[in-house]
Amino acid sequence: MSYIPIKRPKFSLLDRIYVVELVKGLGITMRHLILSLLGKSRSKKDFNGAGIGACMPFPEQRWDAHLPSYYRGAPTLVRGEDGRERCVSCQLCEFICPARAIRVVPGTVDPNSPTPKQEKAPAEFEIDMLRCIYCGMCQEVCPEQAIFLSKEYLITLTDRNQALRHKEQLYQLGGTRKGLINKWNPYK
């Protein structure tokens, strides 16, 4: 047999009259209404709610402290603990980006710098926040762990040009990260 007959529940006469079940349903919604008016809604604490219902009144109260560790916000570039630009401008993030939000112009590293073995660093690195879809593929693909998604979620623009984030800005937002990548150490 190519199909499996589903066993439907058999309704009693009381169920089919419908009125009793209707009253039960009305009771459930009324309980929710009263609880939210009293400010005692379920899981209000988890949502950082205040006042009526379980909702968080947004601009007055923020979600920031409750963000999970895996939250994907705006992508940023990071430096190592030695202040080295981690990005080696391999352009993998540029190629993988499904929204084509990233543009990298490769440049060379000064041979007198502490990490001359790195050879390349981005001359320009731009992320268009109007195109970015916060998918996190750039972070996954990066072999140097140079690009990370931050927890910044509130990006309000008054101008299209503000959406274009340049290299300096991205480094400033990203800050520094410790460890992980040590292969460009000149003494190694």
**Beta strands 164-165 and 120-128: pairing type?**
antiparallel
Q: Which residues contact 144 (CB under 8 A, 6 or more apart)?
A: 86, 87, 88, 90, 181
Under the binding rule (CB under 8 A), the answer on residue 48 touching another protein is: no
Please tell me the distance from the alpha carbon of residue 42 to that of residue 35, in angstroms, as a whole number: 8
Of the candidate spans 27-35, 70-78, 125-133, 140-148, the one that interacts with another protein by CB under 8 A turns out to be 27-35
Nearest distance, CB of residue 11 and another protein, angstroms: 13
Q: What DSSP assignment string belongs to 78-113?
A: -B-TTS-B------HHHHH-TT--EEEEEEEPPTTS
Under the binding rule (CB under 8 A), the answer on residue 145 touching another protein is: no
Nearest distance, CB of residue 68 and another protein, angstroms: 21
Under the binding rule (CB under 8 A), the answer on residue 180 touching another protein is: no
Per rule CB under 8 A, count of chain residues that contact another protein: 21
Of the candidate spans 7-15, 33-41, 130-138, 160-168, the one that interacts with another protein by CB under 8 A turns out to be 33-41
Binder to another protein among 14, 15, 42, 151 (CB under 8 A)? 42
Nearest distance, CB of residue 160 and another protein, angstroms: 24
Block residue for tokens 């923020």: 62
Please give the helix or strand (H or E) that residue 38 lies within, else none. helix 19-38
**Count of Cβ atoms closer than 10 Å to residue 166 Cβ:** 12
Under the binding rule (CB under 8 A), the answer on residue 30 touching another protein is: yes
Of the candidate spans 52-60, 101-109, 124-132, 155-163, the one that interacts with another protein by CB under 8 A turns out to be 52-60
Please tell me the distance from the alpha carbon of residue 97 to that of residue 101, in angstroms, as a whole number: 7
3-state class of 165 per DSSP?
strand
The amino acid that residue 121 corresponds to is A
Report 55-114 residues binding another protein (CB under 8 A).
55, 57, 60
Under the binding rule (CB under 8 A), the answer on residue 46 touching another protein is: no
Q: Write out the residues near another protein by the rule CB under 8 A.
A: 19, 22, 25-26, 28-30, 32-33, 35-37, 41-42, 51-55, 57, 60
